[in-house]
Chain A
């Protein structure tokens, strides 16, 4: 597998500009001759579809939900970063770049991250022009707030619904192009495979989830914007339909998968309360602007929060990290919460929770001000837990949230399959080993609005593509493979449900395995044990999962089964990746590699690389390749937020 990152030469600040100039273009009149497929309609997919259609390409866009407006970007709460420096507090493109690369614990590519910081400002302008109702100061200018891992206020927001408002902005741009006939929208389609002709991505195979029919679509370029794989853990903050299938199928067709073990565990989620639970709910990181995290000083202190006096409380983040306090990056906050709970200081019924307390902020700013900032989050918390955060502190615990790992892409966001691009969360490109808050929205929109169109033009301008019609052998073969796989999944149903398992039962088992062995802390023996146990779960799935109904119909159990089958295959490279990286970095804490203060200890000499996995065959183990990371402009340092 060749890993050429195609990073342009020249000074960091000039790379993107030079690259744009040296790239090939496609003449406006010729663009309509090219077909582009976009899979997914989150921030990245919707913005890419709209932008490419505006430029004149013939775009076909696919989404799994009943409408492109439902994609899970919609659930992002807190905000979006940009280097506007509107607050005059010392921000700059270079600082946003540095914070992001440091936040990612120096495991991301410099040039990509710099470009992200560079285009961040244009994103805000674009969204404002679309009518996104960002929060404003009384004078009418845009308001900002602070987020973890930064000492400047650079986060733009629309109450606690920033993701929703940005997605609706991108959806409205997409809707305009659908209306104009430039985008053909396919709702309720699940991508099952990518089709390669002469080694290039030329189409996709999808399942119409309403009818169960398998369909082929062809194009000159295929763009995946299919999100992250956090649902491998069963419980996560992801939407129920979020899955790895599209990315995994692309991987099996030859796309390298980078850093699959880099999974962000978000520190502020509502704790697990029962085994019937279907998902975990995030409470925005922005709450840490005003909420103070604490646990009782003594372990097994069962007094209610209100009866624990100030001197018996340990505000452990403020004490341990005085300069960043409650706003340390997510991986640091999560790990510390786990540490407190492991020491028996956890609170709540399960002991797996810490307090996030707003009492001081309410005393300082008044209830009204706090409710204006976080009202909808408080309301959401109260609906779920039946407890009012104005009266008692919130209970929070870390949960799987975002996946920094993803399909390996070069500077042009192209995977190792020519003509197959990956944007947004489904690629690995910008966040290294840990993503800072409010950076996911920034990356999704940067990729979709401002980067992918340049890459697509350059690819089309430098490659001559043969005409395809969707009827060639690779399309038929892919369709047949997909049909056979679904038939195989349905096989067990003929005998009835006796002694069988449901899809969710196996998924929960996989989730527990990953959470216990490949979660917030990882250790060699434990990872090896997981690798041993995984085939047993996989066997159980293929031997005894019962799926009611038939394949050629709306069958939600079959949809879930297909996704779990892929999670089971995917889990292997997650675990192998965690095993292979013997250092700690960002989200990835190897118990064997810690500083004396239990901070992640990197090993730059041996692990300053991206681990890229290649699929060999279903029988042979995957092979790992390395993209060495070169730091020309920053010097990797031990992260310190003290």
Chain B
């Protein structure tokens, strides 16, 4: 196990109304087997001991599935390694003497609440507007009564793997939530259970996306490049198809 010395430039902002700025911290003897968040833990322990306020950041499961953590590391959401969340990014991806710039996920629809912690409740409201099959508890048919081709189930699962972290939004030049929204629309459009409401779902989720202040897709593909779960932008194509069809036949 080796260790490295780092210079960290971290966005500090007391609350949504305050002005923020990048503060510089030196952190020595960072073990390369540490995760990025463990490195931040060590920094926070050090700051606490110095009587300074630790850096606020969101995190929970620390195994890459809850979607709560995330920050922009040297300009890349979740950092330089492909298909990982910040909690699964390990310090072996950095070298001794590196300067690392750490900023929150920024977007019009994600107000910064404190330091690296942002408000992503807009994503919840997109799901609330229609990201479900309207079925009450009870009285559902036997699970095997509805055969689903394995390949469709797999494609649906590919889309359903979205963890709602918001990296796609933070990376999009337009601040669009298209990858996020399309993942849910695709999952349900690919399954027979989702057919009954597919038009209404596409229309309401897109309307909610607009209302929250997210931008539109111009195929910059930045979202796909940073997605920790490798969600493909083909889902956006599917969303567009679903939306267009719904708008032409329902709108």
Interface of A toward B, CB cutoff 8 Å: 47, 50-51, 54, 65-72, 74-75, 84, 86, 122, 124-131, 133-142, 158-159, 161, 163-165, 168, 171-173, 175-176, 178-179, 187, 210, 239-241, 273-274, 276-279, 281-282, 379-380, 383-384, 386, 449-450, 453, 496-497, 502, 504, 546, 548-549, 554, 556-557
Residue B100 at the A interface, CB < 8 A? no
| Least Cβ–Cβ distance between A36 and chain B, in angstroms | 15
Contact A165 to B128, CB < 8 A, known contacts A240-B59, A278-B38:
no
Evaluate contact between A140 and B150: CB separation under 8 angstroms.
Answer: yes
A277 and B91 alpha carbons, distance in the complex (Å): 13
Residue B1 at the A interface, CB < 8 A? yes
Evaluate contact between A240 and B38: CB separation under 8 angstroms.
Answer: no
Evaluate contact between B33 and A274: CB separation under 8 angstroms.
Answer: yes
Query: Which of chain A's residues has its CB closest to B141's CB?
Result: A125
Residue B31 at the A interface, CB < 8 A? yes
Evaluate contact between A65 and B68: CB separation under 8 angstroms.
Answer: yes
Q: What 14 additional pairs, Cβ within 8 angstroms, besides A51-B136, A66-B68, A161-B161?
A: A66-B120, A69-B67, A75-B63, A122-B138, A130-B133, A133-B191, A239-B66, A240-B62, A276-B41, A383-B81, A386-B92, A502-B48, A548-B52, A548-B53
> Could you say which residues of chain A place their CB within 8 Å of the CB of B156?
131, 133
A171 and B119 alpha carbons, distance in the complex (Å): 18
Interface of B toward A, CB cutoff 8 Å: 1, 31, 33-35, 37-38, 41-42, 45, 47-54, 56, 58-68, 81, 83-84, 88, 90, 92, 113-114, 117, 119-121, 123-124, 127-138, 140-144, 146-150, 153-154, 156-157, 160-161, 163-164, 187-188, 191, 193-194
Evaluate contact between A502 and B66: CB separation under 8 angstroms.
Answer: no
Evaluate contact between B124 and A175: CB separation under 8 angstroms.
Answer: yes
Evaluate contact between A178 and B128: CB separation under 8 angstroms.
Answer: yes
Evaluate contact between A129 and B62: CB separation under 8 angstroms.
Answer: no
Residue contacts A-B, CB under 8 angstroms, 21 given: A66-B58, A68-B124, A69-B164, A70-B66, A72-B66, A122-B138, A125-B141, A133-B156, A135-B150, A137-B150, A165-B160, A172-B127, A172-B133, A175-B124, A176-B134, A179-B130, A210-B113, A239-B61, A240-B60, A497-B48, A546-B48
Contact A276 to B38, CB < 8 A, known contacts A67-B120, A131-B188, A140-B148:
yes
The residue that B38 contacts in the complex, of A128, A277, A557, with Cβ under 8 A, is: A277
| Least Cβ–Cβ distance between A382 and chain B, in angstroms | 10
Evaluate contact between B90 and A133: CB separation under 8 angstroms.
Answer: no
Contact A175 to B51, CB < 8 A, known contacts A75-B61, A133-B191, A386-B90:
no
Query: Which of chain A's residues has its CB closest to B40's CB?
Result: A278
| Least Cβ–Cβ distance between B138 and chain A, in angstroms | 7
> Could you say which residues of chain B place their CB within 8 Å of the CB of A134?
143, 153
A178 and B129 alpha carbons, distance in the complex (Å): 9
> Could you say which residues of chain A place their CB within 8 Å of the CB of B58?
66
Query: Which of chain B's residues has its CB closest to A282's CB?
Result: B63
Evaluate contact between A128 and B140: CB separation under 8 angstroms.
Answer: yes
Main secondary structure of the interface of B (DSSP, over half): loop
Contact A125 to B142, CB < 8 A, known contacts A140-B149, A178-B128:
yes
A131 and B157 alpha carbons, distance in the complex (Å): 10
A287 and B246 alpha carbons, distance in the complex (Å): 43
> Could you say which residues of chain B place their CB within 8 Å of the CB of A277?
38
Evaluate contact between A129 and B193: CB separation under 8 angstroms.
Answer: yes
Query: Which of chain A's residues has its CB closest to B150's CB?
Result: A136
Query: Which of chain A's residues has its CB closest to B52's CB?
Result: A548
Identify which of B33, B64, B143, B164 gathers the most chain A CB atoms within 10 Å of its CB: B143
| Least Cβ–Cβ distance between A215 and chain B, in angstroms | 18
Evaluate contact between A131 and B191: CB separation under 8 angstroms.
Answer: yes
The residue that A50 contacts in the complex, of B61, B137, B157, with Cβ under 8 A, is: B137
A165 and B38 alpha carbons, distance in the complex (Å): 27
Evaluate contact between B124 and A69: CB separation under 8 angstroms.
Answer: yes
The residue that B65 contacts in the complex, of A74, A131, A384, A556, with Cβ under 8 A, is: A74
A450 and B68 alpha carbons, distance in the complex (Å): 29
The residue that A179 contacts in the complex, of B38, B53, B120, B128, with Cβ under 8 A, is: B128
The residue that B132 contacts in the complex, of A54, A141, A175, A383, with Cβ under 8 A, is: A175
Evaluate contact between B31 and A274: CB separation under 8 angstroms.
Answer: yes
Contact A138 to B66, CB < 8 A, known contacts A171-B127, A276-B41, A497-B50:
no
A497 and B47 alpha carbons, distance in the complex (Å): 10
Contact A241 to B60, CB < 8 A, known contacts A67-B164, A140-B147, A502-B45:
yes
The residue that A131 contacts in the complex, of B52, B123, B193, with Cβ under 8 A, is: B193
> Could you say which residues of chain A place their CB within 8 Å of the CB of B187?
131, 133
> Could you say which residues of chain A place their CB within 8 Å of the CB of B160?
133, 158, 165, 168
A292 and B128 alpha carbons, distance in the complex (Å): 44
Contact A554 to B113, CB < 8 A, known contacts A128-B143, A172-B131, A281-B63:
yes
Identify which of A131, A241, A273 gathers the most chain B CB atoms within 10 Å of its CB: A131
The residue that A164 contacts in the complex, of B65, B68, B123, B133, with Cβ under 8 A, is: B65
A142 and B147 alpha carbons, distance in the complex (Å): 8
Contact A380 to B64, CB < 8 A, known contacts A175-B124, A175-B128:
yes
A231 and B38 alpha carbons, distance in the complex (Å): 17
> Could you say which residues of chain A place their CB within 8 Å of the CB of B68?
65-67, 70
The residue that A70 contacts in the complex, of B60, B88, B141, B146, with Cβ under 8 A, is: B60
Q: Nearest 10 pairs between A and B by C-beta?
A: A140-B147, A172-B132, A129-B140, A128-B143, A133-B157, A179-B128, A133-B156, A136-B153, A51-B137, A239-B60
> Could you say which residues of chain B place their CB within 8 Å of the CB of A239?
60-62, 66
Evaluate contact between A273 and B33: CB separation under 8 angstroms.
Answer: yes
| Least Cβ–Cβ distance between A186 and chain B, in angstroms | 12
> Could you say which residues of chain A place their CB within 8 Å of the CB of B133?
129-131, 172
A74 and B63 alpha carbons, distance in the complex (Å): 10
A65 and B58 alpha carbons, distance in the complex (Å): 9
| Least Cβ–Cβ distance between A274 and chain B, in angstroms | 6
Evaluate contact between A504 and B45: CB separation under 8 angstroms.
Answer: yes
A279 and B51 alpha carbons, distance in the complex (Å): 25
Contact A70 to B124, CB < 8 A, known contacts A124-B143, A135-B153, A278-B37:
no
